[in-house]
A = this chain, B = another copy of it.
Amino acid sequence: MRRITVALAGLGTVGSGVIHLLQDQADLIARRADVAFDIIAVAARDPKKQRSFNIPQALWFADARDLVDTQADIIVELIGGADGIAFDLARKTLLSGKPLVTANKAMLAKHGSDLAMWSRKGNVQIFCEASVAGGLPVIKVLREGLSANSVTHVRGILNGTCNYILTTMMREQRQFDDVLAEAQAKGYAEADPSFDIDGWDTAHKLSLLTAFAFDTVPQLSGIGVKGIRHLTLSDLNDAKQKGGVIKLIAQSAKDPHGNITQIVEPLFLDSASPLAQIDGVLNAVEINTSHAGPIFIQGRGAGAQATASAVVADLIDFAMGRGVPFLKGRP
């Protein structure tokens, strides 16, 4: 059996989930892919913090960038943030010729073009399934499963927090502020919820789906973004009376002239639409294709285990020699 050494930056919810998953599923992974992953190094701000896992063989680093200098075969970046340490680590990894796994939508959306250039020049792979829709393998479906298709239109529900709030408002007939406050108290929404509820988290994910669907680079600045903050319970009840629901929908389309439009906004959906059925924290994506027709996929868009599932699938793809050229870089 082959052994692949892994260095992991970021030991928050997802990072811990990856360590648990690699340990819990080691036998299954060995059976399926004839490989064992050894976490030989990790980086986290507080090495003394109590952790839920035990990795006695791993070296601990305070500075994530030092992970690249270890013997690790592949670097996993789960720090987050478009710039700062995460981007420094990604750059250093790629320029060193080491493959990168990342769940960092903000970094990919902002620096996708540079990352693609380094990936191409160094012939080094970037894996990023966890960056959009958590445990849902939508990037793989789009880039590999539908690789023979032109895509005409992508739309989806990509933010579980917003969808949870809208679903709960309707189900319990409560106002937005009330449900948001409860979601914050329960930890479903951030203390500063604006990134989610104003549509920016959705917009970051949409920019990546758009880039993968239409073979371009992520363009965050071109997205019209409207969130759910202004929606009232009576808006939702009105929608129900008209035979539908209101959801925060991300969509992008390419017209016959090649112009791409990207929009994030609350939309009225007829009750019969598959996206109208997506309740609570679920995510879903609908991909309209030239030959395979419309493809619809739904599942858990967030959470430690679901997101770790995508990260470890990327590691297994690397181990099996599977990969996809990341994105088109600047011409």
Contacts and interface: CB of A to CB of B under 8 A. Distances in A.
Contact of A292 (B148, B300, B323, B324): B300
A192 to B, nearest CB: 27
A328 to B, nearest CB: 9
B137 A145 contact: yes
Interface residues of A, number: 52
Contacts of A129: 145
B277 A305 contact: no
A324 B292 CA distance: 22
A148 B309 contact: yes
A148 B297 contact: no
Contacts of A25: 148-150, 290-291
Interface string A287-315: 00111111111111001011011101100
A299 B293 contact: yes
A320 interface: yes
Contacts of A325: 32
Q: Is the interface of A mostly helix, strand, loop or mixed?
A: mixed
A144 B322 contact: yes
A274 interface: yes
A267 interface: no
B295 A297 contact: yes
Nearest to A308: B291
Contact of A32 (B147, B312, B317): B147
Contacts of A211: none
Contact of A295 (B146, B292, B298, B322): B298
Nearest to A315: B148
A137 B148 contact: no
Interface string A110-147: 00000000000000000001000011110011001111
Contacts of A294: 299-300
Interface in A157-176: none
Interface string A1-43: 0000000000000000000010001001101110000000000
A201 interface: no
A134 B292 CA distance: 8
B293 A145 contact: no
Given A148-B316, A297-B297, 20 more contacts: A28-B148, A28-B150, A29-B148, A32-B215, A137-B141, A137-B144, A141-B141, A141-B297, A144-B144, A144-B317, A144-B322, A274-B277, A291-B308, A291-B309, A292-B309, A293-B305, A294-B300, A296-B298, A296-B299, A320-B324
3 A-B pairs closest in CB distance: A137-B145, A135-B292, A148-B312
